[in-house]
């Protein structure tokens, strides 16, 4: 028996009150994600249960109970409060997947801060853009990553506190504080900030087609949507050992790598080491993982490794598999059923939606390659590309859209109200965020395209914009192009996605060179490393093509779509607006 | 042989290791499994090897295991040098 039971029955008379029942949360109770994931679990009798079983490279292993989560997150909260960090201020968490990341995330929320997790592989330029936009007040990081903060700190006047949580205290620089939560005095009780449902909680940056990344801001009541989807889609229940492979620098790693499972008191395991197929299987075997939430890129990498590696391990503990980040190809579903005896269940959602929207449910017939069906309580459609009217006929491609009103919908793009409004089709020019997110006559448009088959299953087609989805992470072409033209050799640049067997797509750059530079392989490698260090390995072009000129519209805008279509072997469309020679 | 190891070690030290990091790097140091070099960054390392040694490394052979140490990387390069 699955938690969701009958999907059809769940659709009947659905109310989001069922999410409160899933959490057993009562009106008037404190709604603070940090406390819900630690103090509340302890109060409900699971203080001694493992919350986090962590393994690092080289055999390092640590286990933390929910009681540990409580006192250690209290310690982080108290440390921030003692430094003068105020509720509502942004506190960045910038570190590898070490225990301090997970525990400090709760600590920031407990003191009322808005936690801003950032992917630790970001280079200093990616970091600076996001910290500057958020006006971040404090950053929690490690010795390994502190140098990136040092490189940009003087340009971030609002960044008052740099707290190093791991490393050698002797190597701190002026203005930095060292805080080791395990050697700090235990903080048994902390006066948790009395957040309400609409108090800001998490700020996740995500990339768009134009401009720099924007911060999708969530609130504490998002936990209702995250907990219910965790229970119904991931099918988690007491006694499970759950592994979410996502990094909390991205939304999956917080919604389903911290909030959803811990709110329900579930034991999580985390592996902080590089990807190696045998190591992953060993980790599942050693920890008797029961539920595994991963990504298509990882699954395809495992497939490439072959079936023989799988057979060396006892993976019989696995009960349910799910996937997110990019469309899961049919071959991967079929393969997982063959080698694990279980299919991966694809799920679709976004940074902005905060929780799963279209999914394959446990117990439901899976059509390999399909995204599944809308979660109960979610009204979804595909909209005509031109009229934005819902498409009635099966199989026709349109924009994936949702009626607003689900609990975990993002509440703002940080300081970008016009951009937020633009995501809702039919919104009045003066519509305010609160009205937008509750107006069920509007459509929130996801930016992805799909079709719906006669049985109501959704089938992903692709992005509706130029954003590059590489390995399940969105990379904004503008950010890459802006960094590329900072290189001395480059005059103009365009970044697009090109097909990739494992990562679905990877970044490819087209560049024109400044006078005096030759298009050599050495320069190509130099440019690749330039972007890798400035932005991130994800944003690094895996191919650079030197061109004499870039295709443009008559108004001078670079035609990325033309370049992308060429890469994908698609119709390049109407070129009549191309710049004339 | 040792020349190749030195060249690859030097490149990795220059591109993937920060001066301030207390990282001991030799031909047996795990690169991918330790997280020092991630799977995306492997592409620039592969590009370097192909350029430096005038070879083409097939994608299916450029696995995390093959790139996990300088020793294994050199073995792969030598195989394709013929």
Q: How confident is the model at residue A581 (pLDDT cuts 50, 70, 90)?
A: very low
* Chain A residues near residue B21 by CB distance under 8 angstroms: 144
User: In B1-82, which ranges are E strands?
Assistant: none
Of A85-94, A467-476, A516-525, which range is least confident? A467-476
Tokens coding A403: 């009626």
Give long-range contacts, CB 8 A cutoff, 24+ apart: A341-346: A342/A318, A343/A368, A344/A294, A344/A299, A345/A233, A345/A320, A345/A321, A345/A372, A346/A322, A346/A370, A346/A371, A346/A372
| Neighbour-count burial for A215-241, b at 16+ CB within 10 Å, e otherwise | bbbbbbbbbbbbbbbbbbbbbbbeebb
Condensed to tens digits (0 to 9), the pLDDT of residues A238-280 reads 999 999 999 999 999 999 999 999 999 999 999 999 899 999 9
Residue B54 lies in a domain: yes
Number of cross-chain residue pairs from A and B with Cβ atoms under 8 Å apart: 72
Q: What percent of chain A has pLDDT over 90?
A: 90
Chain B closest-CA separation from residue A15 CA (Å): 43
Please, which residues have CB within 8 angstroms of residue A350's CB and are 6 or more apart in sequence? A206, A251, A357, A446, A447
Task: Write down the pLDDT at residue A110.
Answer: 98
CB atoms within 10 A of CB A334: 15
Match 């034991």 to its residue by tokens.
Answer: A267
* Mean pLDDT (whole number) for A194-223: 94
In chain B, the number of structural domains is: 1
* Chain B residues near residue A305 by CB distance under 8 angstroms: 63
- Maximum pairwise Cα distance, chain B: 39
Find, in chain A, the residue whose alpha carbon is nearest to that of B14. A529
Report helix, strand or coil for A449.
Answer: strand
Provide the mean pLDDT of chain A. 95
Question: Which residue in B15, B33, B43 is closest to A274 by CB distance?
Answer: B33
* Chain B residues near residue A470 by CB distance under 8 angstroms: 40
**Prediction ipTM score:** 0.93
Interface of B with A (CB under 8 A): 15, 18, 20-21, 30-41, 43-44, 47-48, 51, 59-60, 63-65, 68
Distance CA A260, CA A262 (A): 6
Condensed to tens digits (0 to 9), the pLDDT of residues A20-30 reads 999 999 999 99
Half-sphere exposure in the Cβ direction for B40 (13 Å, CA): 26
Task: Write down the pLDDT at residue A37.
Answer: 98
Task: Write down the pLDDT at residue A579.
Answer: 54
Taken in order A474, A371, A220, A242, is the CA torsion positive or negative? Answer: negative
| Neighbour-count burial for A476-495, b at 16+ CB within 10 Å, e otherwise | bbbbbbbbbeebebbebbbb
Residue B19 lies in a domain: no
Distance CA A144, CA A139 (A): 14
| Residue A305 touches partner B, C-beta closer than 8 Å | yes
Report helix, strand or coil for A9.
Answer: helix
Half-sphere exposure in the Cβ direction for A563 (13 Å, CA): 27
Distance CA A444, CA A353 (A): 9
Chain B closest-CA separation from residue A343 CA (Å): 25
* Mean pLDDT (whole number) for A510-529: 96
Match 């991918």 to its residue by tokens.
Answer: B32
* Mean pLDDT (whole number) for A3-25: 95
Please, which residues have CB within 8 angstroms of residue A51's CB and are 6 or more apart in sequence? A38, A41, A64, A65, A66, A68, A69, A262, A267, A268
Task: With CA atoms as reference, report the closest residue to A494 among A515, A505, A480.
Answer: A480
Distance CA A493, CA B52 (A): 26
Residue B46 lies in a domain: yes
Residue B20 lies in a domain: no
From the CA atom positions of chain A, what is the Rg in Å? 23
Higher pLDDT, A419 or A561: A419
Looking at residue B63, which CATH number applies to its domain?
1.10.1200.10
Residue B48 lies in a domain: yes
Chain A closest-CA separation from residue B71 CA (Å): 17
Half-sphere exposure in the Cβ direction for A273 (13 Å, CA): 24
From the CA atom positions of chain B, what is the Rg in Å? 12
Range of the domain at B63: 2-10+26-81
Burial of A537 (0-12, 13-18, 19+ CB in 10 A): buried
Mutation pick from B14, B22, B43 vs chain A, by most beta carbons of A within 10 Å, is B43
Report helix, strand or coil for B44.
Answer: helix
Distance CA A106, CA A464 (A): 35
* Chain A residues near residue B63 by CB distance under 8 angstroms: 304-305
Is B20's CB within 8 Å of A521's CB?
A: no
Of A248-252, A504-508, B39-43, which range is least confident? B39-43
Tokens coding A506: 């990877």
User: In A398-464, which ranges are E strands?
Assistant: 398-402, 412-413, 424-425, 443-452, 458-463
For chain A, which domains are there?
Answer: 1-23+221-247+263-370 (3.40.50.980), 31-40+60-220 (3.40.50.12780), 379-461 (2.30.38.10), 468-568 (3.30.300.30)
User: What's this model's pTM, rounded to 2 decimal places?
Assistant: 0.93
Please, which residues have CB within 8 angstroms of residue A396's CB and are 6 or more apart in sequence? A382, A451
Is B38's CB within 8 Å of A274's CB?
A: yes
Query: What is the DSSP code (8-state) at residue A384?
Result: -
């Amino acid at each position: 028996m699955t938690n969701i039971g009958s999907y059809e029955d769940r659709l009947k008379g659905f109310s989001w009150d069922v999410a409160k029942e899933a959490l057993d949360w009562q009106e008037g109770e404190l709604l603070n994600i940090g406390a819900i994931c630690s103090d509340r679990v302890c109060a409900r009798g699971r203080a001694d249960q493992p919350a986090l079983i962590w393994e690092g490279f080289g055999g390092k292993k640590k286990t933390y109970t929910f009681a540990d989560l409580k006192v250690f997150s209290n310690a982080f909260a108290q440390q921030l409060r003692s430094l003068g960090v105020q509720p509502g201020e942004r506190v960045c968490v910038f570190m590898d997947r070490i225990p301090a990341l997970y525990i400090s995330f709760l600590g920031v929320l407990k003191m009322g801060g808005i936690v801003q997790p950032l992917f630790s592989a970001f280079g200093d330029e990616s970091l600076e853009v996001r910290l500057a936009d958020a006006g971040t007040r404090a950053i929690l990081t490690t010795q390994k990553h502190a140098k990136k903060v040092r490189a940009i700190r003087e340009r971030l006047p609002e960044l008052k506190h740099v707290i190093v949580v791991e490393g050698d205290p002797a190597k701190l620089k002026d203005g930095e504080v060292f805080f080791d939560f395990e050697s700090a005095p235990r903080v048994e009780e902390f006066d948790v900030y009395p957040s309400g449902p609409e108090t800001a909680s998490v700020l996740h940056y995500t990339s768009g087609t134009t401009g720099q990344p924007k911060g999708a801001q969530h609130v504490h009541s998002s936990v209702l949507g995250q907990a219910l989807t965790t229970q119904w889609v991931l099918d988690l229940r007491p006694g499970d050992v759950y592994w979410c492979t996502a990094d909390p620098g991205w939304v999956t790693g917080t919604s389903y790598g911290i909030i959803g499972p811990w709110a329900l008191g579930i034991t999580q395991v985390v592996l902080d080491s590089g990807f190696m197929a045998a190591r992953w299987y060993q980790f599942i075997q050693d920890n008797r993982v029961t539920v595994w939430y991963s990504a298509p890129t990882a699954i395809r990498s495992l497939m490439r490794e072959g079936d023989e590696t799988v057979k060396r391990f006892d993976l019989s503990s696995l009960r349910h598999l799910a996937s997110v980040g990019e469309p899961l190809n049919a071959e991967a579903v079929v393969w997982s059923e063959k080698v694990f005896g279980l299919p991966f269940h694809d799920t679709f959602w976004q940074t902005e939606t905060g929780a799963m929207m279209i999914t394959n449910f446990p117990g439901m017939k899976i059509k390999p390659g399909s995204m599944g069906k809308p979660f109960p309580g979610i009204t979804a459609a595909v909209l005509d590309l031109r009229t934005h009217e819902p498409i009635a006929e099966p199989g026709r491609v349109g924009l994936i859209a949702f009626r607003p009103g689900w609990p975990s919908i993002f509440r703002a793009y940080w300081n970008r109200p016009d951009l937020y409004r633009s995501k809702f089709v039919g919104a009045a020019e003066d519509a305010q965020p609160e009205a937008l997110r509750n107006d069920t006559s509007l459509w929130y448009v996801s930016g992805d395209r799909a079709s719906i088959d006669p049985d109501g299953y959704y089938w992903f087609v692709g992005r509706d914009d130029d954003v590059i989805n590489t390995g399940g992470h969105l990379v904004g072409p503008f950010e890459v192009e802006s960094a590329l033209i900072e290189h001395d050799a480059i005059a103009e640049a365009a970044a697009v996605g090109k097909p990739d067997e494992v990562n679905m797509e990877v970044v490819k750059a087209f560049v024109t060179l400044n006078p005096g530079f030759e298009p050599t392989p050495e320069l190509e490698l130099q440019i690749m490393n330039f972007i890798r260090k400035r932005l991130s390995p994800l944003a690094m072009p895996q191919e650079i093509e030197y061109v004499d000129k870039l295709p443009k519209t008559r108004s001078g805008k670079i035609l990325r779509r033309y370049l992308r279509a060429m890469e994908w072997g698609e119709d390049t469309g109407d070129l009549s607006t191309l710049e004339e020679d | 042989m040792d020349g190749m190891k030195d060249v690859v070690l030097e490149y990795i030290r220059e591109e993937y290791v920060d001066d301030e990091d207390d990282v001991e790097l030799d031909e047996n140091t795990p690169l991918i499994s330790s997280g020092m070099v991630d799977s995306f960054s492997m592409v620039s390392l592969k590009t370097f090897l192909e350029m430096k040694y005038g070879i083409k490394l097939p994608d299916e052979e450029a696995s995390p295991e093959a790139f996990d140490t300088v020793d294994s990387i050199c073995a792969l390069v030598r195989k394709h040098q013929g």
